[in-house]
Structure 1
Amino acid sequence: MKALTMARLLIRLFGVVALMTLNSVAARAEIAIAVAGPMTGQNIFRGEQIQQGAQLAVADLNAKGGVLGQRVQLLVGDDACDPEQAVAVARKLATDGVVFVAGHVCSHSSIPASKVYEEEGILMISPASTNPKLTDEGGANVFRVCGRDDQQGLVAGNYLADVWADKSIAILHDNSVYGKGLADETRKQLHKRGVKEAMYASYMPGKSDYAELVSGMRAVAIDVMYFGGYGADAGLILREANNQDFEVQLVGGDSLTTEEFWMVAGPAGEGTLMTFGADPRMNPEAAEVVDQFRAQNFEPGGYTLHTYAAVQAWTQAAEIAGSLDLMAVIKALRTHRFHTVLGEISFDQNGDVTAPGYVWYRWTKGEYVPAK
């Protein structure tokens, strides 16, 4: 009886060990990567863009056999554009064993998260964080497929000086790393051009009432408002200006390329101008992917295709390296060109993408289109 019991126990133990081994092999056969950004909170529309981009990229990737013969599993991290939450998300993703993160979005979240990824040996390619500090002060593991605010501010400052040098200009920002950084870069270039703004002020993001701010601009007869911040706040400020019969031209950056801006601003947003990279939806290389998104009733605006491209760049770099080893993938990223929905791209030694610069867009009838 004891011998039989022992035999059964040994069989069961062998079975458990075999099952654990199989599970371990199965786990290793699936590569974990992540997309991270504001899946909740004020910037949820930007989060939806990057999540949609990453999901379709991984689905298409797995349909073609995955990476290095292994399927890819996509994890989703929600930082709500909060720095502390971003660090917590980064640490959780490290614990989950991810080798690559497409994220984050808001610069004030991306920068602290990048420090965790550097410590943990995880590759990070941001689709949307534009503050120069991300790559200037980041580790060798940090890349981005979008432009930088010093590039964006140069274009904006020149345009303000070229078109509205004789007008009363206000420069507003929300005190965030992104918003203030973009506003200050624009202001710097405006001053280089010999133009001084009539008003430079910060505002509190997330408020429901900007009557006092708008009244202040109206009191000094502002003609043009350069805006460093996010879409919902810009929309509310424009609506309040409309309520006060105050006509002001809104000019902003890439954060205004979300449906959220128009949903909040409504007709008051008509004619709003902003800088953004050349629209990847127009690229022949993106046509098939754009059709896939539209078939799902999702318009791949903003940073959707940038996120898809981030996954493509990582995939191709891993295949070139023949490995998931971080340093091997970094070397491939720094020394090769990649075919993506953004077109053919490469990265400089700083981790910044080498791609066409910023161009102008205008909101009209619920869509943003190239400004003429």
Structure 2
Amino acid sequence: MNTNKLQVFVFAMLFVVGAFTGCVDEDDDDKTTTTADEGPKVQSDQSVKIGFLNPITGPLEPDAPGFKWGVDEAIKDLTAMYADKNNSFEVIEMDSGCDGDTAASAAQTLVDSGVVAVVGAACSGASMSANAVLSAAGIPMISYASTNPGLSDASAYPLFYRNVPSDAIQGPAGADMMADAGTTSGSLAILHMTNDYGSGLADSVKAAWEEDGHTLCGAGMQGYAEDTTDFSALAASVADDATCTSVYLSSYIVDAAGIIEALEDKEYSGKIFGGDGPAGIG
């Protein structure tokens, strides 16, 4: 997990608790303090439960320990921040599985546990499903990694927040990056996972590329299931097409590595680009 991702994660934790801690037990006037200049009430002598959706299993499993480290560091900061209020903070960690069904079930457990807010999920599909459960219970969530453009729709995903940019921004940035690197019209292939993150980013890149007046190469844009392990046919479709001299990967870490290895096996010598997904650890 790189440093920037950890910083974003810790900030997400601080944002959630800073924004919503003061909303608990507001009717207990004896335990609140506020002035006109102090802003929102800050409760004293309370235990605050924070939900944490972590991809302990699934395609982002390699990142889970880094996310957990971020939680631990944020709790230290929060404890110090509210030391004079005698508050304690309890994190309830659940596995999102980077999967909609798993995340929805985990979200219900967090609701039943009495959390005031939730940090996560990481994967866009997991956040979408968890939001349906959490928003119905009036519980806000802030994601540190979900970038699907659809999540910006406050009507469809109420009480959802994130402190990472939408792929509606990353797509045009990626298109500009590839053009600046010498990728020309008719030379780009796009390979993407068919989950909410992979498809969302790929669609954004393709739309931006075509909006700039460019076309894709003969291999075009192709999707694959996120649990795919054999990328030989996918790599061959790019390497065997002479028009495809650049490829963009809308992927996670493990599948990106598999595709790159498969392209190497096919003696592909073109440029390879990617978004935030393959950044990984380090």
Instruction: State the TM-score bracket (shorter-chain normalisation).
Output: 0.7 to 0.9
Q: Match of 1:205, as an amino acid?
A: E
Q: Match of 2:206, as an amino acid?
A: R
Q: What is aligned with 2:34?
A: none
Whole-angstrom distance in 1 between the partners of 2:280 and 2:214:
30
Q: Match of 2:90, as an amino acid?
A: Q
Aligned partner (choices 251, 255, 259) of residue 277 of structure 2: 255
C-alpha deviation, 1:204, in angstroms: 2.6
Using the size of structure 2 for normalisation, the TM-score is: 0.77
Q: What is the root-mean-square deviation in Å for CA atoms of aligned residues?
A: 1.9
Confirm whether residue 55 of structure 1 aligns to residue 77 of structure 2. Answer: no
Given that residues 37 and 105 in structure 1 are in contact (C-alpha distance below 8 angstroms), is that contact kept between their aligned partners in structure 2? Answer: yes
Q: What is aligned with 1:165?
A: 184
Q: How many residues align?
A: 233
Q: Match of 2:105, as an amino acid?
A: A
Q: What is aligned with 2:121?
A: 104
Aligned partner (choices 31, 36, 43) of residue 48 of structure 2: 31
Given that residues 123 and 146 in structure 2 are in contact (C-alpha distance below 8 angstroms), is that contact kept between their aligned partners in structure 1? Answer: yes
Whole-angstrom distance in 2 between the partners of 1:161 and 1:224:
10
Whole-angstrom distance in 2 between the partners of 1:209 and 1:140:
38
Q: What is aligned with 1:89?
A: 106
Given that residues 241 and 248 in structure 1 are in contact (C-alpha distance below 8 angstroms), is that contact kept between their aligned partners in structure 2? Answer: no
Which structure would you say has the larger Rg?
Answer: 1
Q: What is aligned with 1:183?
A: 202
Confirm whether residue 235 of structure 1 aligns to residue 257 of structure 2. Answer: yes
Q: What is aligned with 1:295?
A: none
Q: What is aligned with 1:74?
A: 91
Confirm whether residue 122 of structure 1 aligns to residue 139 of structure 2. Answer: yes
Whole-angstrom distance in 2 between the partners of 1:46 and 1:131:
19
Helix, strand or coil at the partner of 2:69: helix
Whole-angstrom distance in 2 between the partners of 1:68 and 1:142:
28
Q: What is aligned with 1:215?
A: 236
Whole-angstrom distance in 1 between the partners of 2:59 and 2:123:
11
Q: Match of 1:217, as an amino acid?
A: V
Whole-angstrom distance in 1 between the partners of 2:174 and 2:221:
16
Whole-angstrom distance in 1 between the partners of 2:267 and 2:179:
26
Q: Deviations over 1:18-61 (max 9, x none)?
A: xxxxxxxxxx8311102213112221123223221112101232
Q: Match of 1:211, as an amino acid?
A: S
Q: What is aligned with 1:113?
A: 130
Whole-angstrom distance in 2 between the partners of 1:33 and 1:65:
15
Given that residues 35 and 102 in structure 1 are in contact (C-alpha distance below 8 angstroms), is that contact kept between their aligned partners in structure 2? Answer: yes
C-alpha deviation, 1:167, in angstroms: 6.2
Whole-angstrom distance in 2 between the partners of 1:133 and 1:68:
39
C-alpha deviation, 1:139, in angstroms: 4.5
Confirm whether residue 42 of structure 1 aligns to residue 59 of structure 2. Answer: yes
Q: Deviations over 1:99-157 (max 9, x none)?
A: 11110011011011112111111121111101122231445421111000000001112
Q: Deviations over 1:142-191 (max 9, x none)?
A: 11110000000011122233431156210111111110110111110110
Using the size of structure 1 for normalisation, the TM-score is: 0.59
Q: Deviations over 1:197-225 (max 9, x none)?
A: 11111123222221111111111132111
Unmatched tracts of structure 2, length 5 or more: 1-44
Helix, strand or coil at the partner of 1:98: coil
Given that residues 210 and 237 in structure 1 are in contact (C-alpha distance below 8 angstroms), is that contact kept between their aligned partners in structure 2? Answer: yes
Q: Percent identity?
A: 29
